[in-house]
Amino acid sequence: MVIPGKWYSGLLFFVIFTVVSLNSVFSMIDSISSHEKQEKGSGELQYDYYENPELAGIIKHLETQYIQKSELPSAIDVFLKAVILHEHKSITLGSNIESLGWALIDIGNSFYNMQDYLFAEKVFEKALFLFIQAKSNLGTITTINNIGLCKLHLFEPENALQAFKKMLVFSTEVNDSSRIYASTIYIGMSLRDAGNYNEAIQTFVNLDNFPTSEVERVLIQLKNLELGDTYIKVNLVDSAYACYTRANANDKEAEAYYSSFGLIKMAKIELEKNNINKAIQLSEDAYYMIDSEQFRSLKATACEVLYHCYKKKDNDKLALKYFEEYQKLNSDLNKKEIRNFVDTYNRKLERIGIKHELNEIRKQKNEAIAERHNQQNLAVFLVIMAILLVVSIFGSRNFYSRTNILFNHVESYTPWHKIILSISFLIYFTTFNYLFVPLGNAMEIRQLEPIYRLIPGIISFLLSSAFFVLFTITQQARKKAEQKENPYTYYIIATLFITTCLLQYFYFNSLSFGGINFLLSLTIIVFASFIVPLYAFILLVENIILRQIENISKSLNQDISDINTNYFPKEKTVSIASEKTKGKLNFNISSLISIEAKGNYCMFNFDEGERLSTEMLHITMKSIEEQFCDFENIIRCHKSFFANIHKIEKVSGNSRGYFLHLKHCSESMPVSRGYQKKVMAKIREAKAHLS
């Protein structure tokens, strides 16, 4: 089945319009979905982490949790690191995978130092995945160790034990002595926390057979302290004391913290045994060994032991001294906590204001995104509309005739009607350019004063008015030259379009808007602003003219019907001679149907009862017009046609004009615009004579 052209264009337009509409709907759904996701939550600051969900929980926790911590610089440091990782968008197995894993280790350590073991464990698990993919033994061992420590602090000794056993296997495979030693310590700690004291003690004791030259002194101290704590659990105080003593061995490589820790443990044991002097000596050694503000709580513990020792010795002066220092250290710690509380409270107040501002910014951002989606969809729709209209207008063979109809119709307006039409187009152009602004700087342009946004529409209107005047002048020149078509139409339209684009671009450029993308978007808007009203106005005028023609055709058909009913042909012979040859044609005027020009000849059509006959004669239309001037029923309807009024069966018309349907003729005879009034007048005169 062949689809007519107009239906094909309509179908194509419908399909494209449907696609654009669906695209608009889906864009709106995506925008709403994204907006809902961003607004969802408990009211805390939310971010869009959908492209990197691995780090979403970490950053969210930082937003809601660490603002309450005292280590604000550390929290900020962790936050920045997490944001940097978020910029990776997703974790890919590329060349930087191992370095990314170590970055996660750094972040996890920050969580661990801030005693947030749950989130530290999550980060370490991500790092473990990366190290396994990168086949990094060192990274794998480190990560498993850190996961085990997190589980140990989370009171999951059984799970921690499994992690440390895996660490021991990996450490043994790479023959890393220090890590083998450390893994064994952590296994013993897990066994102790799980209540397996004997197995834990055996695990620690087995490390005495390990070559001490291959491990750091700090690990040996840690092992002795942990073994001592395990002996305390089973009330083996002497064994515990021996372990603490070994942890406090005078070694330049020993860690002061572990040494002082061991001394305080020993002092407490001596105090319980009532060995006051020994307890004082051990406590004072620990007291003077601690010189870092970081270990203030440990120093307070030493002061507490010294206070109890001197209290038992009835040395109130020294007891009071250490009690006051103990109180001062605790007071400083409490003040720090209060100060941190106040700082946290102030930060919360500040966050409320920031949150409100961010919510406003987020709201404006969502509105801008929605606006951009709408502008893009509208731009696509305008482009498709413009293309369809251009194909419909310029691709038609009747483009010139349609423009002629349009401008002839406008020329027929009264001055008052032309003023109203001009005002209508001024309102249209200003409104169109006010609503549709170029993409890229749409938000900035919409923030301009209304007067500045009306100027592009005024530019389009003024240039369109100049275009109409210029086209009218060329139309008059065409009529004088008796040209069928206006040769300047395309040039005028192209000049109007290019000039409007350039003037609007220079105007926006003066307001600091510009760029190639801006120019392209502006070109689309200008193009659509011209082509849409042009096509709509052509359709409107054609519809108006078509209705007028239909009404007139109906009236003429009634007149023709009356003529054919009451007309009785008069017999009269006519003789027509050729101008340049000896040819001559004799016929009865009542049998003549029409005359049609055929180059240098004319074809005469006659009514021979039930059939049509034709004769050719070398003669001009001008000569025929002169010889038939006395016959009122023979009228000229076109520069190439004459018709007999009494042989017209009906009149039809469309937006391009009228057509006469003659007896025995299969094709209709056109009535050109220059002869329309004369033809209608002749038909009505003929009816008047008969009546």
Assign residue 577 the CATH number of its domain: 2.40.50.1020
pLDDT tens digit sequence for 594-612:
999 988 889 999 988 778 8
In this structure, the answer to whether residues 161 and 292 fall within a common structural domain is: no
For strands 601-608 and 592-598, give the pairing.
Answer: antiparallel
In this structure, the answer to whether residues 644 and 521 fall within a common structural domain is: no
Question: Residue 192 belongs to a domain with what CATH number?
Answer: 1.25.40.10
Q: Is residue 362 part of a domain?
A: no
Q: Is residue 371 part of a domain?
A: no
Ranges of residues in the chain with a pLDDT under 70 are 1-96, 114, 249-255, 292-294, 333-362, 364-404, 440, 478-487, 568-569, 655-656, 690-691
Query: Following DSSP, what letter does each residue of 418-486 receive, concatenated?
Result: HHHHHHHHHHHHHHHHHH---TTSHHHHHTS-HHHHHHHHHHHHHHHHHHHHHHHHHHHHHHHTT-SS-
In this structure, the answer to whether residues 217 and 352 fall within a common structural domain is: no
Last residue within a domain, chosen from 271, 293, 309 = 271
pLDDT at 196: 92
Range of the domain at 163: 53-271
Last residue within a domain, chosen from 546, 580, 600 = 546
In this structure, the answer to whether residues 431 and 540 fall within a common structural domain is: yes
In this structure, the answer to whether residues 541 and 575 fall within a common structural domain is: no
pLDDT tens digit sequence for 301-316:
888 888 889 888 888 8
Q: What is the DSSP letter of 614?
A: E
CB atoms within 10 A of CB 270: 20
In this structure, the answer to whether residues 281 and 267 fall within a common structural domain is: no
In this structure, the answer to whether residues 393 and 432 fall within a common structural domain is: yes
Q: By C-alpha distance, which of 344, 337, 339, 309 is closest to 323?
A: 309
- The b-or-e profile of 21-45 (16+ CB within 10 A means b, else e) is eeebeebeeebeeebeeeeeeeeee
In this structure, the answer to whether residues 232 and 250 fall within a common structural domain is: yes
In this structure, the answer to whether residues 300 and 258 fall within a common structural domain is: no
Number of domains observed in the structure of the chain: 5
Q: What is the DSSP letter of 411?
A: H
Q: Is residue 73 part of a domain?
A: yes
Q: Is residue 378 part of a domain?
A: no
Q: Is residue 561 part of a domain?
A: no
In this structure, the answer to whether residues 582 and 539 fall within a common structural domain is: no
Q: Is residue 467 part of a domain?
A: yes
pLDDT at 285: 85
Q: Is residue 551 part of a domain?
A: no
In this structure, the answer to whether residues 122 and 7 fall within a common structural domain is: no
pLDDT at 22: 39
Q: What is the DSSP letter of 582?
A: S
Q: Is residue 557 part of a domain?
A: no
In this structure, the answer to whether residues 75 and 211 fall within a common structural domain is: yes
pLDDT at 641: 92
Task: From residue 223, give the alpha-carbon distance in Å to each of 246, 270, 426, 585.
Answer: 10, 22, 90, 137
d(CA 214, CA 184): 14
pLDDT at 604: 92
Query: Following DSSP, what letter does each residue of 222-259 receive, concatenated?
Result: HHHHHHHHHHHHTT-HHHHHHHHHHHT---TTS-HHHH
Q: What is the DSSP letter of 116?
A: -
pLDDT at 1: 36
Last residue within a domain, chosen from 271, 291, 309 = 271
The amino acid at 294: Q
